[in-house]
Structure 1
Amino acid sequence: MTAPDHHAGWGQGPCVVVDPYSSGALFAEALARHGIPAVAVLTGPRPPEAYASSFRPQDFPDTVVYEGDLEAVVAQLAGRAPRAVVAGCESGVELAERLAPLLVPGRCNVPHLAEARRDKSRMAEAVAAAGLPVIPQICTADAREVQEWLEKERLQGADLVLKPPKSASTDGVIKLPGGADWRVVFERQLGRVNQFGEVDDRLIVQKFVTGTEYVVDTFSHDGRHSLVDVCAYRKVDNGPHMAVYDTMRWLPPDDAAVAGLTEYVFGVLDAVGMRVGAAHVEVMGTAEGPVLIELGARPHGGGQPRFNRNATGDSQIDRTVRWLAGDEPPRGYALRAHQMCVFHMARRAGTVRSTAPLEAIRTLPSHHFSVLNVSDGDRVSLTKDLVDSLNFGFVILSHPEEEQLLEDYATVRALEERLVIEEEPSTRSPS
């Protein structure tokens, strides 16, 4: 397939947004505000279930559906002379990476490293090849290879993590304390259909590392990287499930961790060939230094850019669009307020009988935004991952004083304890 020559048309045509779901839905308003047309390319006739509620088709009247024929989509878009191709969310990354070199060859990421921007195994290989530290891991469909790797790395009896190479939002991520029953879990998860409808035909097994988990959100253009925000996650175990989101806290740019994280993350972006667009990079800050958890070649999801505007006055969406409009992006960011996201958590599965206690959240001094997606009579499952958390709801706390933020966080958790979730009686027959 020959790449069309659109160099002369840059700056005039639309921005192509592949799967404008989750935070990608925010591109429509931002582009319109700058007078830039938008075209939505959808990777299927319907959004993945995890993203269905975020899609606003009325915001994208010009839409192309990819049905497996890349040349047909390129042909439909070529006449529009697009100025950029961006991924709206994780499900759109692979198609965006295939379209960009064909439609805007001067404004694309390094084509031969496209897999390293989506597949977590290839990602780690590229970062390690660049001389940066990574978490020891193996990606395979063969349990025997895992066994050999565990023996070679002397990880028998060590805590492990098992996860799919191409999902997101902690979907399918399982902690194996002491490596117990890893083979049973590996064989059970192999072939599972993940939240994007893809079959997990390989699995990653990696050493469990501890430390503080950070997310570093960036924007790149012409191979130059800029820092949009840095947040610290706090995750907790919820029953048998590891890494359930508790909070995400925005860090000031002069926080002691930021400089080292920035240097490492910019190196990761170079290693995976990131030259244009937003990236969402999750890093574990260990005692030995930062190591990559994973990278998403797209904006931070869950609508985070809206809240980042409140914390910093900027976002990955805004920075992308301003660059397309001809502005030079800043290199860093400033924090305007102390801010934290508190993720609601169901401590048990059952039927919700009273959400009334949570109504008091809106009266908290630092309350900025909150959403509760469950009502009395709804059934909820034990929160196990970020998708569950977002399906339940979350609270954004923002205030000039950090002490008020921490006080209100404690109040949110105390109010959750008063939430009535009626556990269903056991259906097991008496022995």
Structure 2
Amino acid sequence: MTTGNPPGDFVQVGATRDGLDPYLDCARRRGMRAVLVETPAYLRWRRLLGRREFDVEVAVARPQDPDAVRAALTAAAVVPGLVLTGFERYVYAGFALAEALRVTPWPGAGVDFRPLDKREQREALLRGAPQVAQPRFLPMDLGDQDAADGLGFPQVIKPADGGGGLGVLLVDGAAQRGRALDRIRALANYGGGAFSGIVVEEFVKGPELSLQGVAQHGGAVLLSVCEKLTCLEEVPGEPGLSGFREVGHVARPGTDAPPELHALAQACLDAVGYRAGPFHLDVLQGPTGPVFVEMGFRLSGGGLVALVEKTTGADWAELAFASHLGDAAPLRAPSPDTGTGTGGVAGQISAVSEAELAAAEALQEPGITVEIRRAAPPPDHSALPADDLSVLASDLARHTGSAGRVVVSGGPADRVPALLHSLVAHRLRG
């Protein structure tokens, strides 16, 4: 797809950690120069990983600072026409930069819109969409742990502006909560720097879902709904303290989503004032219906852009990109992409061992397609300066260690989740 008169350079603040870089493809189809802003350390890490290069790569020590990004772009003779975010850590800076420069997605995403952190999202829903169920929560900025006892146990402790599960911990009592808080306060956010705050919330047990969509003129269009496969893993050096790790997803078309999920997505967009662009929502299926967990104002990572396309035939990045540039037709949720043989259901797991990959290779059933995408051997960390390892500490903890990705599609709708569960049942939490 090509449009005339590209509006300027495409600037992506933050690299995708799954390496898909779908916005890079969108920009090149339009003849736009593609610019990536990242820390010097992560740019060096990307090169070791063998990731595709952008036309221009701008090193900024603090990409979370929109003023620093703006100054670096000016020095590099970059003229932004569209600014989007590739990684959760920098979504706040990306939108602030677009507003400061008066370029897309401002004001289409909302004249007064700014992305809210996890605490602010909860507070916005309490004000603007009280009908949306969410866990009881408290900010821990002031260290008032006694008040949090009223939430009961177990509890989930999380940074307000983390991503990729960084620092999200499950605790069973006040003593564990104290250890969890100490642990989070000792962590650095991606790219360095402190978290904006910490949230403690009641633990709601139930199936976990993620919703992938695009906002257009304030309307929520759900492309897909994923069942999340999640495991608990012990925090290194912290016996008895556990965090969460996403193992995989099973995706179904948004057209199959129950009405309450469509209503929840629309209520969330309305409450935060987000009118245009990609979004994702994490929810729990509680005893009385869906329970809001958090919302992101970007494409999901973890290979989900490819999984959405596998399931529905829809290019999530292209729909978002075109919507921002005004060359998109009115959106509607795509139908199942039965033409590719998925039957509208596809799933993936991130394998952590050769044993899991071997088990996947042994999955043979009529009508089932199993794709195994082995990860490249991890780069030698010794090739990086010591300062880089410090900056990359959170990335190395949360975005490395995969032996490959297994994608399963086709066959009866219930077989995909059953087969994926069989591969990782030993890791999944109860």
Q: Which TM-score band (shorter chain)?
A: 0.7 to 0.9
Corresponding position of 2:348: 341
CA drift at 1:211: 1.8
2:192 counterpart of 1:197: yes
8 Å CA contact 1:20–1:40 kept in 2: the answer is: no
Corresponding position of 1:296: 296
CA drift at 1:261: 1.1
Closer, same or farther in 2 for the Cα pair 1:111/1:76, shift >3 Å?
farther
Corresponding position of 2:332: 331
Match of 1:20 among 15, 19, 30: 15
Match of 2:413 among 395, 402, 414: 402
CA drift at 1:282: 0.8
Corresponding position of 1:352: none
CA drift at 1:258: 3.2
* TM-score calculated relative to the size of structure 1: 0.76
1:296-338 per-position Cα deviation (integer Å, ceiling 9, x unaligned): 2110102321222121111321212333371214221222222
Q: Which moved more, 1:356-365 or 1:49-58?
A: 49-58
Inter-partner Cα distance in structure 2 for 1:313 and 1:306? 9
8 Å CA contact 1:21–1:52 kept in 2: the answer is: no
CA drift at 1:97: 0.9
Give the % identical residues: 20
Closer, same or farther in 2 for the Cα pair 1:393/1:329, shift >3 Å?
farther
Corresponding position of 1:39: 34
Corresponding position of 1:146: 145
Corresponding position of 2:392: none
8 Å CA contact 1:223–1:276 kept in 2: the answer is: yes
Code of the residue aligned with 2:411 in structure 1: it is P
CA drift at 1:22: 3.0
Count of equivalent residues: 382
1:137-163 per-position Cα deviation (integer Å, ceiling 9, x unaligned): 1222333x231243xxx334x210111
Corresponding position of 2:219: 224
Corresponding position of 1:88: 86
8 Å CA contact 1:343–1:389 kept in 2: the answer is: no
Corresponding position of 1:269: 269
1:180-218 per-position Cα deviation (integer Å, ceiling 9, x unaligned): 532232233224213442323632111111222111111
Corresponding position of 1:248: 249
Code of the residue aligned with 1:121 in structure 2: it is R
Corresponding position of 1:126: 124
1:264-288 per-position Cα deviation (integer Å, ceiling 9, x unaligned): 1121122222222211211122123
Say which one has the larger Rg.
1
* SS, match of residue 47 in structure 1: helix
Unaligned runs of 5+ in 2: 62-66, 235-239, 381-395
* SS, match of residue 322 in structure 2: helix
8 Å CA contact 1:312–1:335 kept in 2: the answer is: yes
Code of the residue aligned with 2:406 in structure 1: it is V
Inter-partner Cα distance in structure 2 for 1:265 and 1:343? 27
Closer, same or farther in 2 for the Cα pair 1:250/1:78, shift >3 Å?
same
Inter-partner Cα distance in structure 2 for 1:223 and 1:403? 34
* SS, match of residue 89 in structure 2: helix
8 Å CA contact 1:361–1:367 kept in 2: the answer is: no
Inter-partner Cα distance in structure 2 for 1:52 and 1:135? 41
Unaligned runs of 5+ in 1: 1-8, 347-354, 379-384, 418-431
* TM-score calculated relative to the size of structure 2: 0.76
* SS, match of residue 402 in structure 1: coil
* SS, match of residue 391 in structure 1: coil
Closer, same or farther in 2 for the Cα pair 1:278/1:372, shift >3 Å?
same
Inter-partner Cα distance in structure 2 for 1:55 and 1:127? 41
Corresponding position of 2:64: none
1:99-123 per-position Cα deviation (integer Å, ceiling 9, x unaligned): 111334563234654251xx21112
8 Å CA contact 2:11–2:83 kept in 1: the answer is: yes
2:157 counterpart of 1:162: yes
Closer, same or farther in 2 for the Cα pair 1:200/1:17, shift >3 Å?
closer
Closer, same or farther in 2 for the Cα pair 1:412/1:278, shift >3 Å?
same
